[in-house]
Each structure stands twice: as structure tokens, then as C-alpha cells.
Structure 1
Amino acid sequence: MPVYPSLTRALAEALVGVLWFIEGSDDEEMDPDNAVKVLEGIAHLFTQLSSDQRQELLDLLGAMAEEESDPARREFLEGFPESFGLVEDAT
């Protein structure tokens, strides 16, 4: 069982795990409307973060991506900030 350096890191890991599950679920595993509601709710919550909180989360996500051995999950983590509105769209 991993030991987390902070509660914030443990909560970020838990949140990413839930969102990773939701993103990867098919219609039999989770109702698509409910999935969208959860994802939009999380994205909205992120808009309420202060700039320091946003930066802390971005730093955690970057560290998590660097440490991730599963290529698909690493890709999810790398795209997480843009997908959930933590950074401006790169386009």
C-alpha cells in the first residue's frame, strides 16, 4: 500500500482514480448522463480553486504523470489539466 506525502496527494490520487474509472466506463457500467454530471461537477469545482490551489494540483498531477507506469493512465494524467479546465486550451 502506498504511503502518500500529504493528504492533498492522497485525495488527488483518489479523485484521479474515480475520474479515470468514469472516463473508461461504458454505458453498462455507468449511466452516461450521470457520468457527464459528475465530470462537469468536478470541472466546475476546479474553477473555484485559488491560483495557489490550482498550481498545487497541477504540480501534483505532473508528479503523478511522471511516476505512472501505465501508458494509458499517464496519457490521461497528462491531458487532465486541459480536459478539466485547469489550464487554458492550447489551441
Structure 2
Amino acid sequence: MSGSSELVTQLLKVAIAYTRFFEECDDSVLDDDTALKQMEYAAYLLHQLSDVGKRRLVDELAALVAAEADPAERESVQGFAFGMGLVESEDG
């Protein structure tokens, strides 16, 4: 794995972890409006990618899904592209 590819993979894992946090935290941790704004901002930033960049992101997500042994984690990663509006269906 090249340094660039490793960087992209790790940053993607960070983005998934933080968006999952915003999605799953309750009001005692973070109010719903703030969590939603953060999720929308993450989606906005991802939509700034070129079509080639978006395709690469979706391909990287598919590789993460294929490598993930934990079913719950795999499901979370699978839904990320759809949740961020990068693909039209959860199947990619």
C-alpha cells in the first residue's frame, strides 16, 4: 500500500467514525441539531470532490467493506456512501 493510499484509507476511517458518532450520540452528549449540522457539513465537503474523487472514495469504501470482519462495522461502512449522498442506493 502506498503512503497516499494509506493516508486516504485512514482519513476515510476517521470520517466514518466521526459521522457514526454524530449519528448515534444522544441528546445528553450532543443536541440533534448540532449533530445534523455536522453530518450535513461532512456530506457537503465530500460533494466538493470531483467525479473521479467521488469514484475513488466509493472504491476505497468497497475495499474497506471487503476487508472488514466485524458484521456491524461492515454494515456501517457499507452505508456511509449512501448516507453521505455519494451513491443512489445502499448497494453502491
Which interval holds the TM-score relative to the shorter structure? 0.7 to 0.9
What secondary structure, in the 3-state scheme, does the structure 2 residue paired with 1:6 have? helix
Name the counterpart of 2:85: 85
> Where in structure 1 are there 5+ consecutive unaligned residues?
none
Q: Which of structures 1 and 2 has the larger relative contact order (alpha carbons within 8 angstroms, sep 6+)?
A: 1
Deviations 1:3-62 (A, max 9, x none): x95211111111111112221211112111110000011111122110111011101111
Aligned residues: 88
What secondary structure, in the 3-state scheme, does the structure 1 residue paired with 2:29 have? coil
Q: How far apart are the structure 2 equivalents of 1:61 and 1:68?
A: 10
What secondary structure, in the 3-state scheme, does the structure 1 residue paired with 2:28 have? coil
Q: How far apart are the structure 2 equivalents of 1:16 and 1:54?
A: 15
The TM-score with structure 2 as length reference comes to: 0.82
The answer to whether 1:74 aligns with 2:74 is yes
Q: Which amino acid aligns with 1:10?
A: Q
> Where in structure 2 are there 5+ consecutive unaligned residues?
none
Give the superposed CA RMSD: 2.0
- Give the fraction of aligned pairs with identical amino acids, expressed as a percent: 37
Cα deviation, residue 68, structure 1: 1.9
Q: How far apart are the structure 1 equivalents of 2:89 and 2:75?
A: 16
The TM-score with structure 1 as length reference comes to: 0.83
